[in-house]
Structure 1
Amino acid sequence: MAITEVAVYAHLSPADVEALGRELDEIRRDIEARRGARDARYIRRTITFQRILDAASRLTIAVSRGKLGWLLGTAGLATAKSIENMEIGHNVGHGQWDWLNDPEIRSNTWEWDMAGLSSQWRYSHNFRHHVYTNVLGMDEDIGFGVMRVTRDQPWRPRLLLQPLQNLLLAATFEWGIALHDLYSEQERVATPAARTAETKALIQKIARQTGKDYVLVPSLSGRRWRRTLAANLTANIARNLWAYVVIFCGHFPDGAEKFTPEALEHETKADWYLRQMLGTANFDAGPVLAFLSGNLCYQIEHHLFPDLPSNRYAEIAVRVRALCNKYNIPYTTGPLLHQYLQTLRTINKLAMPDHLLSKAPEAAPKPDRHGRNGFSAGTDVRRGRGHAALRTAAALHH
């Protein structure tokens, strides 16, 4: 069930939560004070590498005659598109590099290489999702409005098709995100004329994007246009599948909690930090996998500090994990395959009506939606981490 009293759920006193908030603020100040030339080199080299990889992959597709050349070129193009989508477009769109004052690498000027409009995504993602993370009825990224990923969402007969819908969403992820962002933007604007303008803007972006990928670039290949068209389509689908896996593994595995709107009442910045830590999940990754995922393997750190440079998340993660140990709260992570299988199990299970489901055997016992203790009698939440704190209590029940 969704959580209302977040601090009580985590077995932390108000003083504990505020102390946690101060320590997280210190991490932010430290990274902001130390970011500089090293970080600037990182993003500029990443952009240069991505563009070279994109061009080299397209050239390989164009000049090679065998299947191996096509496969290598298509794999390289899919990789270049994934890097542009997540490590560059997503993170630039969060304002992680606005401090450079580079007119090209700014959140309000970068337009990414996918169907959706960056401007519409920034409102839906940066505001609706990151401010109200996993708050029912406020964060539209909970199932993206079409998937049931928590029992707090009502069951509908159409959800019987959810496993198939999940496969379709994975393959067409950029299109789902584009429509999701448009609907969110249309809710925000005040007049029918403004809603029409947003729809027109998205249609124009889609026309440019599809024209580039499926008309202009293939036409440059002359009689081999079918080969190039197939490569572009395959690379886009591969990029969609990878982005879908990364995003879903950061938000829907076991341990990524949901919250009621009442949880926002009197929420302080420290309370917001705690909600981000409980509502998101990481997956284990080395440097290469982290880079290819846009460093979104560090989803917890990203939600705590969405506008800090992504190349700093690995070092931030060490400090955040230490704080989780100190305050005895979960740090939800695991191998990528394990996190995705948990997510897939949730999606498939929740396609069924509640009366056919068992009582969430995949979840450890925990406080109820109001934060009342579900572990043992006698817990004194005023003493917070001194007694049955959440991480310790959950471990005892596995």
Structure 2
Amino acid sequence: MTVATINPFGSRTTVHLSPEDYEAIARELDAVRDEISADLGERDSAYIHRIIRLQRGLEIGGRALLFASSLPPAWLAGTATLTVAKILENMEIGHNVMHGQWDWMRDPKIHSTTWEWDNVSPAEQWKHSHNFVHHTFTNVLGKDNDVGYGILRVTPEQKWHWANIPQPIYNALLAMFFEYGVALHDLEIDKVREGTNDPEETKEKLRAIGRKIRRQWTKDYVAFPLLTGPQFLSTLAANFTANVARNVWAHTIIFCGHFPGDVEVFEEETLEGETKGEWYVRQLLGSANISGGRLFHLMTGNLSHQIEHHLFPDLPSNRYAEIAPRVRALCEKYDLPYHTGPLRKQVTSTWGKIVRYAFPGGSRPNEDQA
């Protein structure tokens, strides 16, 4: 067996795979995709319609409770219900619909080209920065802007700068207002700082973001609070709280799928001549799952199956749970890591890295133990 190093940094994972192994991995994972795609049908369609009905019912119920938001029990119940509705809309519905996971149904109301989510990030910009850039160049430094979101040092391979020192504070603020960070993501702030961006394109993107923010603020902070009349201020506070809670949850799940413990990053040279099998292995090494039950997976938008999502981003999310054991078995077969753990572990690991890499130096977890 020949030796190929998929991680040119030579850090924790050196993958010993022959070209034939990569080809076999591609065939096996392509077969999983083909099998699931051929099996999509009524039960999948019923699932997404059921989740959309549930989400809309929760939103209507939450907003109805806020008509009595001056009463603490009604405020708490309304805020909690609205928070769950917003989480479901953004994660299990919006994120996955805009990935094209349900385009096979050919339903113009549940289609990646028509869905606009309950978020200040314009759908078109998100689809470019996420669907194309992130999922094509997953964890490649200099290509994938999701590695640290342009403001955080999350791996020792990133150059340290004194501005990284307060990054735990940056991250806490990013969590609270995550939708705004996502909205700015497609601007490619690094290019703006370096002056290599197209000024007119940047201005147009900013105008689109401004329009979306006005739309969201009008809905959550003007229209619905006004509908509750004398409960205006308490409803306004409830809507703000629901948005922040949704943002913190989304930030937590997404960061725990990309940055904990042993998740790898790659140099740009990894992309040179990259085969389908090597792309699949890069997704495996650059992702982490979060273990939990069915309700937990639903509330994460099934992004708790981040490995399966990175392998098959356009397969319906309700199928990731049945795909996961097959992917894990493949990892065992080829002696590849399958990063997974409970939420508590992944959160601790992710925040631990953010705090550690705020300072110069640093090494990977296994190197610390060596």
- Same-fold call, TM cutoff 0.5: yes
Shift, 1:326, TM fit: 1.1
Contact 2:68-2:231 at 8 Å conserved across structures:
no
Take 1:315 and 1:185, find their aligned partners in 2: how far apart are those partners? 39
Residues 277-315 of structure 1: CA distance to partner in whole angstroms, max 9, x if unpaired?
011000101100000000000000000000000000000
Take 1:109 and 1:336, find their aligned partners in 2: how far apart are those partners? 33
Aligned to 2:272: 265
Give the total of aligned pairs. Answer: 361
Shift, 1:191, TM fit: 5.2
In the superposition, the TM-score normalised over structure 1's length comes to 0.87
1:23 equivalent in alignment to 2:28:
yes
Aligned to 1:36: 41
Report percent identity of matched pairs.
51
Aligned to 1:316: 323
Take 1:300 and 1:195, find their aligned partners in 2: how far apart are those partners? 32
Take 1:271 and 1:161, find their aligned partners in 2: how far apart are those partners? 36
Aligned to 1:173: 178
Contact 1:2-1:260 at 8 Å conserved across structures:
no
Which AA in structure 2 matches 1:334?
Answer: G
Contact 1:116-1:181 at 8 Å conserved across structures:
no
Take 2:70 and 2:205, find their aligned partners in 1: how far apart are those partners? 43
After superposition, residues 201-220 of structure 1 pair within 5 angstroms as: 201-220=208-227
Which AA in structure 2 matches 1:243?
Answer: A
- Cα-Cα RMSD: 2.1
Aligned to 2:243: 236
- Farther off after superposition, 48-57 or 175-184: 175-184
Aligned to 2:92: 87
Distance 1:164-1:273 versus aligned 2 partners, 3 A rule: same
Contact 1:120-1:185 at 8 Å conserved across structures:
no
1:76 to 73, 78, 81: 81
Q: Report SS of the residue matched to 1:283.
A: strand
Residues 325-370 of structure 1: CA distance to partner in whole angstroms, max 9, x if unpaired?
111111100011101100000000000111xx4x44x2269xxxxx
Larger RCO: 1 or 2 (CA < 8 Å, sep 6+):
1
1:14 equivalent in alignment to 2:19:
yes
Residues 222-259 of structure 1: CA distance to partner in whole angstroms, max 9, x if unpaired?
11101100100000000000000000000000121000
Which AA in structure 1 matches 2:45?
Answer: A
1:302 to 309, 317, 320: 309
Take 2:181 and 2:69, find their aligned partners in 1: how far apart are those partners? 33
Take 2:198 and 2:144, find their aligned partners in 1: how far apart are those partners? 23
After superposition, residues 1-398 of structure 1 pair within 5 angstroms as: 3-4=7-8, 9-63=14-68, 65-183=70-188, 192-354=199-361, 357=362, 359-360=363-364, 362-363=365-366
Distance 1:64-1:201 versus aligned 2 partners, 3 A rule: closer
Q: Report SS of the residue matched to 1:9.
A: coil
Which AA in structure 2 matches 1:282?
Answer: N
Take 2:106 and 2:191, find their aligned partners in 1: how far apart are those partners? 30
Runs of 5+ unmatched residues, structure 2:
none
Take 1:339 and 1:212, find their aligned partners in 2: how far apart are those partners? 34
Shift, 1:195, TM fit: 3.1
Take 1:185 and 1:89, find their aligned partners in 2: how far apart are those partners? 27
Contact 2:6-2:278 at 8 Å conserved across structures:
no
Distance 1:315-1:89 versus aligned 2 partners, 3 A rule: same
Contact 1:283-1:333 at 8 Å conserved across structures:
yes
Residues 162-200 of structure 1: CA distance to partner in whole angstroms, max 9, x if unpaired?
11111111101001110112337998x985433322221
Distance 1:202-1:134 versus aligned 2 partners, 3 A rule: same
Take 1:241 and 1:81, find their aligned partners in 2: how far apart are those partners? 12
Which AA in structure 2 matches 1:12?
Answer: L
